[in-house]
Amino acid sequence: MANLSPTVPDVSPRVDRTSDRPQEACGVYGVLAPGLDVANLTYFGLYALQHRGQESAGIAVFQGEQVRLHKEMGLVSQVFDRDILARLPGDLAVGHTRYSTTGSSHVCNAQPVVLMTRLGPMAMAHNGNLVNTVELGRAMAERGRSSVSSTDSELIAMLIQEAVDGGAGWPEALTRAASCCRGAYSLGIGTPAGLFALRDPHGIRPLVFGRLADMEQDGWTISSETCGLDIVGAEFHDTVAPGEMIWFRPGAREPDRRRWCEATPRLCVFEMIYFARPDSNFFEESLYSYRRRLGTILAEESPAEADLVIGVPDSGIPAAIGFADGSGVPYAEGLVKNRYVGRTFIQPSQGMREAGIRLKLNPLPDVLANQRIVVVDDSIVRGSTSRKIVKALREAGACEVHMRISSPPVKHPCYYGIDTDTQDQLVAARLPLERICRHLGVDSLAYLSQEGMLRATRQQDYPFCTACFDGQYPIPPNKEPGASKLRLESGQGPPS
C-alpha cells in the first residue's frame, strides 16, 4: 500500500494572477541512487528549479514496493525540513514544484500524483499542459473513472494506471498513455521497476538527465534543466529527446532508451528567453550567453541615443549587458531587486499595489538623475509592471526613458504550459506600437525581431515553438466552447 502523508489545510494565498510576468507550469525532478539519500538530493534539485513554480512542492520516495509522499502548498523550503526528509527513506524519488495552469491552486492538485496499479505504486511529475484535457476527462467519465484533482496531470497518470491494470508492462503502459495525450508533457515517473523519463513528440518543455558521480553503482538524475543536475554534482549526460522514453533500472549500467514517437522538435523558445535559469545549458551553452546575444542584436536593430543602459532584474540583465556591448552605451545598475520577496504569506492589499508599493524593485536616484536611460526587459505581457517601472525611473530623475524588449511582441496565448492571458489582455495584441509607447510612458519602444531572436540561438535549422509571437501552433488548441484557454476554472475539474 502507498503510505501517504496526511493532507494539510490549504492556508496559502491564491496565486497572484495579476503578475505581468509569464508564469511557467512546473519543474520535474527524479533520482535513482541506491545507497544515497534520494529525498535530500531531490530537495536540492527542486530548490534549483524553484523558479519554475512557487505554488506547491512535493516528493515521493520509493523503498521497494512502498512509496511515501509529502506535498504541500508553498515554496520548497517551506514544504520540507530535516525531519520531513528523514521520514522519506528509499532508493528512488520523484519531485515536483508547481505553478498551476490546468487545475486550480489547491493542495489536492499538488504533485507528484501517486496512484496504485497492478504492478505496485506509481508517482508521476508533469511539466506542460495538454490541449485535450476536456476530451480525456469525458472519456474517463464514460469508463466510470473519476479524478480527485482538477489537473491534466492526474488524467495522464490515470491513463497509465488503466493500461497497467489492463495487462501492460510499465514501458508499454507509458507509451500507450502518452499516445492519447495532445499537448506538452515532460514526465518523471517513479515505479518499483525503476525511474522513467518521457517527453512529448515535439519536446515543447525541456527535460535532461545526468549521472551521479563517485558512486560504487550507477545513479541517475532527471531534471527540467541542467541547473538541477549541477546542484547535486551530477554530470550532464544527455537531453531526453522529443518523443523519447528512458528507463533507468536499478543496477543497470546504462539506461534503456527508446523513441516511441517521431515528430518535428518544437522546443518552446520562451524557455530560452525567460523561463529557464541563465546558468542552465541549452544546445551546449548557457542561456546567459544566448540572452546576452539577444541584447546585442537588439542594439543593432533598434539603437537609442542614451547615457546609460539598465536591465530589469533579474531576467533582463543579460540582454541589457548585451545591448550595452552592441551600442557602446555604458551599462549601469539602476534598479535594485529585493531578492527575498517571493510568494509571501502576507500580501499587500490591491490598494497598496495600485499606490505603487515597491516590494520587488527600487530605483537608484543618484545613478538615474538627469540621465537618458535605455531600460531592457525580456518581454511585455499586459504592460502593467513595465508602466510602473517607467514611472519609478522618471520619479528617480531620469530625463528620458527608452524601453527595449529582447523578444518579439507577445500577441497570442500559450496552450502548452505557460500562463499567459487570453488574447484580449495581451497589450501587443490590442494596441499598435505607438499606443503601447504612450501607455507605458516611454520616449521610445522597440521589440527584437523574430528573425533576430532565432538568429541569436545559432540553431538555424531548429524549428522552435514561437506560437506566442506568431500564432503558429504546432498542436492545434482545443476550440470547444466553454473550454478554458489554459486551466479549468476552480471547482470545474474534468467531468467525473
322: domain CATH number? Answer: 3.40.50.2020
Q: Which three cell numbers stand for residue 252?
A: 543497470
Written as one letter, the residue type at 343 is R
Q: How many CA atoms lie within 13 A of 319 on its CB side?
A: 32
More confident residue, 488 or 256: 256
Please state, in angstroms and rounded to a whole number, the distance separating the CA atoms of residues 165 and 186. Answer: 23
- Residues 76, 158, single domain; the answer is yes
Please state, in angstroms and rounded to a whole number, the distance separating the CA atoms of residues 340 and 185. Answer: 31
What does the pLDDT read at residue 213? 79
Mean pLDDT lowest among 96-100, 196-200, 289-293, 327-331: 96-100
In a domain, 218, yes or no: yes
Gyration radius of the chain over CA positions: 23
Compute the average pLDDT of residues 312-340: 94
The last residue of one of the domains, among 265, 293, 318, is 265
Nearest to 232 by CA among 214, 256, 253, 206: 214
- Residues 182, 300, single domain; the answer is no
In a domain, 345, yes or no: no
- Residues 40, 177, single domain; the answer is yes
State which residues form the domain around 65: 16-265
Q: Which of 26, 268, 414, 465 is catalytic?
A: 26
Nearest to 164 by CA among 137, 132, 196: 196
Cis amide linkage into residue 10, ω under 30° from 0? no
Compute the average pLDDT of residues 38-49: 98
In a domain, 352, yes or no: no
- Residues 218, 317, single domain; the answer is no
- Residues 290, 259, single domain; the answer is no
Q: How many CB atoms lie within 10 A of CB 330?
A: 10
What does the pLDDT read at residue 406? 98
DSSP code per residue over 345-393: SSPPPHHHHHTT--SSEEE-HHHHTT-EEEEEES--SSSHHHHHHHHHH
In a domain, 478, yes or no: no
Tens digits of residue pLDDT in 138-182: 999 999 887 777 689 999 999 999 999 999 999 999 999 999 999
Tens digits of residue pLDDT in 236-291: 999 999 999 999 999 898 999 999 999 999 999 999 999 999 999 999 999 999 99
More confident residue, 54 or 190: 190
- Residues 195, 289, single domain; the answer is no
- Residues 258, 401, single domain; the answer is no
10 Å CB burial of residue 35 (0-12, 13-18, 19+) is exposed
The last residue of one of the domains, among 265, 293, 313, is 265
What does the pLDDT read at residue 422? 78
- Residues 61, 160, single domain; the answer is yes
The pLDDT of residue 419 is above 90: no
What does the pLDDT read at residue 23? 52
Nearest to 204 by CA among 46, 23, 411, 418: 418
Compute the average pLDDT of residues 38-67: 96
Spell 357-381 as b/e; 16+ CB within 10 A means b: eeeebebbeebbeebbbbbbbbbbb
> Domain containing 134 — which CATH number?
3.60.20.10
- The pTM for the full model equals 0.89
The last residue of one of the domains, among 265, 295, 310, is 265
In a domain, 64, yes or no: yes
In a domain, 9, yes or no: no
- Residues 178, 38, single domain; the answer is yes
Q: How many CB atoms lie within 10 A of CB 118?
A: 12
Tens digits of residue pLDDT in 187-225: 999 999 999 999 999 999 999 999 997 666 679 999 999
What does the pLDDT read at residue 217? 66
In a domain, 169, yes or no: yes
- Residues 160, 76, single domain; the answer is yes
DSSP code per residue over 79-144: H--HHHHHT---SEEEEEEE--SSS-SSGGG-S-EEEEETTEEEEEEEES-BS-HHHHHHHHHHTT
Q: Which three cell numbers stand for residue 182?
A: 495532445
Per-residue DSSP letter, 8? P
Compute the average pLDDT of residues 323-332: 98
What does the pLDDT read at residue 109? 82
DSSP helix, strand, coil percent of the chain (3-state; round to 5): 30, 25, 45
- Residues 260, 288, single domain; the answer is no
Mean pLDDT lowest among 70-74, 126-130, 380-384, 437-441: 380-384
Please state, in angstroms and rounded to a whole number, the distance separating the CA atoms of residues 405 and 237. Answer: 34
What does the pLDDT read at residue 20? 57
Q: Which residues contact 140 (CB under 8 A, 6 or more apart)?
A: 146, 147, 155, 158, 494, 495, 496
- Residues 73, 128, single domain; the answer is yes
Compute the average pLDDT of residues 347-358: 54
- Phi-psi region for residue 214, left (φ > 0), alpha (ψ -120 to 50) or beta? left
10 Å CB burial of residue 6 (0-12, 13-18, 19+) is exposed
Q: What mean pLDDT value characterizes the chain?
A: 88
Is 26 annotated as catalytic? yes
The pLDDT of residue 390 is above 90: yes
Q: How many domains does the chain have?
A: 2
In a domain, 232, yes or no: yes
